[in-house]
Amino acid sequence: MSAPAGAPEVQLSHGGRLRGSWQDGLRVFRGIRYALPPFGERRFAPPVPVAPWQGVREAVDFGPAFPHWPRHAAPDADPVGGEDALSLNIWAPEAPADACLPVMVWVHGGGFVRGSASEPLYDGAAFARQGVVFVSIQYRLGVDGFAHLQDAPPNRGLLDQLMALRWVQDHIGAWGGDAAKVTVFGQSAGAGAIACLMGLPETRGLFQRVILQSPSVACQTLDEAQAALAAICELAGVAPDPVALAKAPIAPVLRAVQRLTQDAGLRRMMGLASRHLFPLRPVLDARMLAAPPLDALQTAWQQPTPLQLLVGHNTDEMRLYHVPGGGLDRITEADVIDFVRSAGLAWPSKQMGTPGERLCAAQSDYHYAAPAAALAQLAATRAGSAHRYRFDWPSPAFEGRLGAAHGVELPFVFGNLGNAAARELAGPAPPVELSRRMQQAWVRFAQTGDPGWAAHTTSSPSVQVFGGQDSTASG
């Protein structure tokens, strides 16, 4: 579609002009390409920046998602997305180029295998209405982004995110954003990716504050990455090398990833770690990622850093994966034992509830609560400041069994309570005031580094609890 007369335009610092659209008094620019399509001769290569151009380019429509299999797609469905997917979107208030507004850059989750920045849940208008320049980015997913391939750079999805963050540094001033006041934030795999980036020297100066929602920080060893690639390629009927994968139709490869994601028994049968739901994650390649995020940050933060961190988790994270479809009631004691052994956990002295409830609790702590606490503790001793939160609000979805599951906080943080995805997570009438408080805290953190409650310290640990009534707890 064409932009209407009087549409907002910006001049990039090195490049051409972009024309967006107005949305309720906000300037919205969608589908801004920050790198060339990573297909054809650029398949499995590092991202290539877009060359400067003359004239005006339209930035009205979202770019395609990176090809992936949607979460609830039927087995015979087609994948979604397209090749020209390395793009970003911007929501900004009307402001002069020298306004020095805080910037928030969103990295979406999806297990490193699905998702996009164009999902209605991630509309950034509510942030922009509070004086923030909001940016959402897309990156390579699945095999293209995270499979460890011979003669290809590792962790290509992280390389994409790095390039997008550099693009923000170069150009966000055109919207009145302050490149020295950037908060990068993400949820689940998005938060895990940011945790990986935080330990890299290449990210110094690209952001000053970080918000991690339910960070999943597990990475793959080279052996685990090799096993995952072999399993995917066996199911897809493709040789496990870049040339064969580049020539193969993408649908069978995506379908293989989806099958491994949905079927724990298949993962075990094909030699993958049964404790992980998703077959692809950042790889400890000894080049880009030399150590797991927590270990890398221990090294990177040997000297105190001014980075400020807000990190938290939800109470019932894993119910998102086990409650829909009735899976919670099919979990057996053998499943609990398998996970505890696979994760190397000590067997709890007290066994309460059904096997499904116990497995959800153990997995929630292992994948999300424990990493969030460890990151906060590390930041409290080595970084500028650390603040913790916990999201406790019990969703009424699925007859009240979903609880404060993984992702339920998202519509509250974004202030997008009315769309279909929000209703699926939070029900038909979620508390608007809870959303207001959470978003206000996120924006205040982006503006000042203080979300509005006491910092977490080693001597005085504290957690802000978001539920029906907010409170502060020690922990």
Query: Which positions are catalytic?
Result: 188, 317, 406
Instruction: List Cβ neighbours of 75 (8 Å cut-off, separation of 6 or more).
Output: none
Please count the other Cβ atoms lying within 10 Å of the Cβ belonging to residue 259.
19
Q: Identify the three-state secondary structure at position 54.
A: coil
CA angle 230, 235, 240 (to 5 degrees): 35
Structure tokens at 38: 């990573």
In the structure, how many helices (H) and strands (E) does the chain have? 16, 14
Give the long-range contacts of residues 435-440, CB within 8 A, separation 24 or more: 435/411, 437/466, 437/470, 438/409, 438/412, 438/413, 438/466, 439/126, 439/127, 439/130, 439/412, 439/413, 439/414, 439/415, 440/130
Q: What are phi and psi of 372, to 5 degrees?
A: -60, -45
Q: Compute the CA torsion angle 346, 347, 351, 354 (nearest 10 deg).
A: 100
Closest by Cα among 245, 286, 53, 35 to 153: 286
Closest by Cα among 393, 388, 409 to 474: 388
CA distance 137 to 115: 11
Q: Are 346 and 247 in contact (CB under 8 A)?
A: no
151-175 burial code (b ≥16 CB/10 A, e <16): ebebbbbbbbbbbbbbbbbbbbbbb
Quote the DSSP letter at residue 35: B
CA distance 142 to 127: 29
